[in-house]
Structure 1
């Protein structure tokens, strides 16, 4: 069987890509640089390519000089690890010198530069990420197994799985994340066993690295089988020790691809416990707010009506209500039509402004102060409860004043 080629890949033939590769080849000759990693893997699997990474025999300072000689912007993003970012036509390209690990501690590595493509491939995590392509799209498979794993949709560590993990404990999560996105069937047995054996090392990772990898995993088209494998092997308990039953997770994953919503059933339901779990994961304030919204009673799509939806949008905001509707759909997926109708209402309803204020209260002879705020609060509650009427405001304000004074 002939080796495939990426010669017609749009990202490879793009003008910006050609400029960067031409600059590197001018600085080091032919075969001084090859595309590597996700752009090669995804092209072979028919997946979108978001980033174009390049490996090169040139050392970082030579990369900088070659780019600048070609009139391209060069950003020294990680010179100690051999990484320079080139910018061509406003597009970034991460360029990394071929390297081998000298020492590792499970979180970071000290590297030495090399000119050997096979040596560079030998330090990468999985065969499917150790594939290279030259500027003409010709493929190179230094491990001898990358193309076969692509075809079989296998995620297999390069070399000894335990050693790869001890070099960087995050590779445990990457193993599951890549299986969720690119694998088929059961995870590789040797890789899975190594992840279980080395799982205690997950505690050495920063919370930010863990949560970023976990959310990427949960964004996969169908992460359920992978998360179940993590649960059955005890890996999930290392990350989310208070994870609830997977039943709600399966239900949520079936109705949305949003990783934050998919995470919610795996976190504690009690608000205080949830807050502690979210802080432990170092999630963003926005993500924390979204998760907190989902700790209240689940909306019932069967009994919900338009008035209630409008009231919730007014009080909670569109994003929160949309998230709550998705949560409700996960519990009653047969009510998809009602969910769609309510979601359309949330997205299109023009939220009105409170039609009265301090001026109208003052016109009733009430002096500015606590009484003004209390009357406006009572009016707002009545206005919302009556589905935001657009007339009769002064009359209702007067009636409410009378009720309060009576």
Structure 2
């Protein structure tokens, strides 16, 4: 008999019309083939956390899943059919539906799988006990390996032998520290798991850069990321990932400031606090790569200092935006050991948060109205007016700016 628990209260997302419609469609072959929620949404429901992604497991084959979705007029994308995964889109809400699997062959990076109808067999191939939890529509949680107990204790434990599970996929080393960061609280890490992670840390570079980057950034999103990173450093895992020293003290101060200054947690900001050089094993999305480079730009960093004036704040915001300035001030404060200077940066942060600038009140058509045709001269004149307006601390209105424009043209 499957060991089970009952959720104390049903989370709202179970009763979403989209969820109910999908479950009805995938249960058409009978109750014994009904899908179950799996993984993160079950963990977060047990911990009363907000659920972002809803994943389902099913004993049905991917082909049957797609057939039932089509019959129910539910859109789907065969995102990874060879691995059993289909993404169902119910009224624009995505659900990842994966057929129960067992591993046939592993090489440390990928697994060849075959499909099964056995829930325990699927649970046994998963990495951690807290990741092998299933839940049905009634809130009944199916737990084959003591994951509920481990979750309540903040224990991240491999299913079976830690070394064996890591050798199946070396990404599990990074996943261990990511799960520890998000779910352990103050519980010490499992010593057997730490030893296994240390033993195989040198295998991490064999993984794809995309997979390494994804796991590391998700780790950085955790409130207690610094604690997990300390254990990564002690085991040598962090050095294998970054190939450089990590400024953990800076990250710790940044995390405290994020809470004290009442701001969000940002993985790229935290990454900039940790490392000064590029990480060879990372492959960031283009927008994230740009953000990371900007946060470490020496020319911009030089502009951030405790004596920054309100005029300088407004100029920085005009050139680079309010959000970047707040990030740069947080990072500058995190690098600062002097508590008084950190308080000064907090004051600057508050000024930056409230900074609102007017739009430049002159347009190209205003210059053309004075007889200057579109081209380089028009651009030069417009820039001169804008520079004058900025030097006046953005105070002149449209009338004054147009008067200055006329004085340049006449």
**1:249 aligned onto 2:251:** yes
Q: Partner of 1:271 in structure 2?
A: none
CA contact (8 A) 1:301 1:329 kept: no
Structure 1 residue 322 displacement after superposition: 2.8
Unaligned runs of 5+ in 2: 259-264
Q: For the aligned residues, what is the CA RMSD? A: 3.1
Q: Which residue of 368, 379, 388 corresponds with 2:394? A: 388
Describe the SS at the equivalent of 2:29.
Answer: helix
Q: Which residue of 28, 36, 58 corresponds with 1:34? A: 36
Superposed CA deviations along residues 299-332 of structure 1, whole A, max 9, x for unmatched, are: 5564122111111122233333232222234334
Q: Partner of 2:180 in structure 1?
A: 179
**1:72 aligned onto 2:81:** no
Relative to 1, partners in 2 of residues 1:353 and 1:235: Cα closer, same or farther, differing over 3 Å?
farther
Q: Partner of 1:151 in structure 2?
A: 152
Q: Which moved more, 1:47-56 or 1:63-72?
A: 63-72
CA contact (8 A) 1:100 1:111 kept: yes
Relative to 1, partners in 2 of residues 1:314 and 1:336: Cα closer, same or farther, differing over 3 Å?
closer
**How far apart in 1 are the matches of 2:230 and 2:379?**
52
Q: Partner of 1:344 in structure 2?
A: 353
Q: Partner of 2:261 in structure 1?
A: none
CA contact (8 A) 1:208 1:281 kept: yes
Structure 1 residue 99 displacement after superposition: 1.0
Describe the SS at the equivalent of 2:28.
Answer: helix
Structure 1 residue 32 displacement after superposition: 3.8
Structure 1 residue 336 displacement after superposition: 6.1
Structure 1 residue 232 displacement after superposition: 1.9
| TM-score (structure 2 length as normaliser) | 0.84
Superposed CA deviations along residues 61-113 of structure 1, whole A, max 9, x for unmatched, are: 12222233333334322221111222333322222111100011222211011
Structure 1 residue 54 displacement after superposition: 1.6
Q: Which moved more, 1:334-343 or 1:147-156?
A: 334-343
**1:92 aligned onto 2:98:** no
Q: Partner of 2:262 in structure 1?
A: none
CA contact (8 A) 1:84 1:94 kept: yes
CA contact (8 A) 2:212 2:281 kept: no
Q: Partner of 1:235 in structure 2?
A: 237
Q: Partner of 1:283 in structure 2?
A: 284
Relative to 1, partners in 2 of residues 1:128 and 1:102: Cα closer, same or farther, differing over 3 Å?
same
Describe the SS at the equivalent of 2:217.
Answer: helix
**How far apart in 2 are the matches of 1:237 and 1:81?**
32
Relative to 1, partners in 2 of residues 1:94 and 1:386: Cα closer, same or farther, differing over 3 Å?
same
Relative to 1, partners in 2 of residues 1:134 and 1:372: Cα closer, same or farther, differing over 3 Å?
closer
CA contact (8 A) 1:27 1:66 kept: no
Within 5 Å, give how 1:11-22 maps onto structure 2: 11-22=13-24
Q: Partner of 1:57 in structure 2?
A: 59
**How far apart in 2 are the matches of 1:300 and 1:226?**
30
**How far apart in 2 are the matches of 1:13 and 1:372?**
60
CA contact (8 A) 1:255 1:333 kept: no
Within 5 Å, give how 1:5-404 maps onto structure 2: 5=7, 8-30=10-32, 32-143=34-145, 145-184=146-185, 185-256=187-258, 257-268=265-276, 274=277, 277=278, 280-295=281-296, 296=298, 297=301, 302-330=306-334, 331=336, 332-335=341-344, 338-346=347-355, 348-353=356-361, 359=367, 380-390=386-396
Structure 1 residue 199 displacement after superposition: 0.9
**How far apart in 2 are the matches of 1:88 and 1:400?**
60
Structure 1 residue 360 displacement after superposition: 8.5
Structure 1 residue 377 displacement after superposition: 5.3
Superposed CA deviations along residues 274-320 of structure 1, whole A, max 9, x for unmatched, are: 4xx16752223322332333332355564122111111122233333
**How far apart in 2 are the matches of 1:31 and 1:135?**
13
CA contact (8 A) 1:298 1:328 kept: no
Relative to 1, partners in 2 of residues 1:23 and 1:83: Cα closer, same or farther, differing over 3 Å?
same
Superposed CA deviations along residues 98-151 of structure 1, whole A, max 9, x for unmatched, are: 1100011222211011122111111001100101122322221112x1111011
Equivalent residues, number: 390
CA contact (8 A) 1:181 1:221 kept: yes
**How far apart in 1 are the matches of 2:366 and 2:74?**
60
